[in-house]
Structure 1
Amino acid sequence: MLKFLKFVSRFLSTHTSIFVIFCAIFAFIFPPAFSWVHGNTSTVILALVMLTMGLTLTVEDVKVLFKRPLDILIGTCAQYTIMPLIALSLTKIFGLNPYLAIGIILVGCCPGGVSSNIMSFLCKGDVAYSVGMTTASTILAPMITPLLVLWFADTSIHVNAFGMFLNILVVTILPVTIGFFCNYFWGKKETFKNMALHQHVWVASPPFFC
């Protein structure tokens, strides 16, 4: 059974892009198949994904993250400059009506989300840095997002600052922290490694991508 799980894990890791595209197409054609993924269910699923990412983090990853405040600053600045400007450019290039334009600009002015952390993990990127970026941009979002939308879309929006902070705490920071400490205390044990493998295979299942 363990050999089969390892085979599935390696296969999904090698063909991640194809797998994600297939799942997206399948969900588009047969949306009822994933209709159960909503509300608290999706929150729990995303938290589990972040937990498995936390299981991959080591003490060295965390140390490096704290040594790179400039990198996080640059990434956060890029988040709130490049994305809003691209969104604004798209609305101008395609001549979108005001309602669609506001929606596109709003998306461009939003902070990073859990999906970016998932993609960093699957692509073997810097997960610690990605989580740090998500945390920093989300903390700043209640102030910066409304201001950017006001500038670019000439309208005002209300942002639930406490709700955003609670969401990032429950979905990202807490699960990643738990996973990190589990890896720190029990990472060298064979039973823990097998459990972590099961978790990684579970992460690669379709509901997480659709």
Structure 2
Amino acid sequence: MIKMYTPIFREEPIFIAQTFNLSDGLTLGLVLVGCCPGGVSSNIMSFLCKGDVAFSVGMTTVSTLIAPVATPLLVNLLIGQRIDIDPWSMFQFMLLVTIIPVAIGSSCNIMFHKYEFFKQVRQVMPGVAVIGFALIVGGVIAVHGDKFLQSGLIIFACIFCHNAFGYVLGYVAAKFFGMSTAKKRTLSIEVGVQNAGLATGLCGKFFPTSAEAAIASAVSCVWHSISGTILANIFLWFDKKAEENNNAVENLKTQSEN
């Protein structure tokens, strides 16, 4: 969602759609993914690549809180002339699936964090989330499998470009504003990794006949997790190389002094 707030980058999904001559359904899927808030997995990826975790959590939280208003407005702005969209109903639905669960979770954490049973529940919930994630993606592929086989390659190519552009945009923007290395990595991941599961839910609720939009969102769910993990490991690889170079320089200095 972060990259959708400026006029230049709002047009990126539309540019990709025009470049690949996409149908309205695939365009809708890309727009929905781009207009959704950051994915929770981005916080984990920021941690893995030694990013600024507090910065990551803060951005994910803010984008999630404003998503019920921002997402319907942005989707309507970008593709409302081509596809019928009901921003008010989308706003109500997003309140139900974003703000209310966050409020319930925060309240439970405040009230029950000292209790042992609640600690056990918290340990189980990540597994429950993964199962739910798999069911969402699997359900979409099961229902629209034929369409996926027909257009799978072009769908993946568009998702790859959309996702990669987000990573590059986030890193370049952070570098432009003189942020630290940790924040550069974090912003790159935050802009690139979206809550594609929410986009899939929006497709199922408001565009049930658009198989291509649902597939694009579901494939994004999987690819964002994979690509984010790959990017985090690339950042760590650069750290390892930098450390090896520093050690080599130190060894040379030590040898020259001796």
Question: Could you tell me the TM-score, scaled by structure 1's length?
Answer: 0.48
Higher helix share: 2
Q: Which has the higher contact order (CA 8 A, sep 6+)?
A: 1
Specify the structure having the higher radius of gyration (Cα). 2
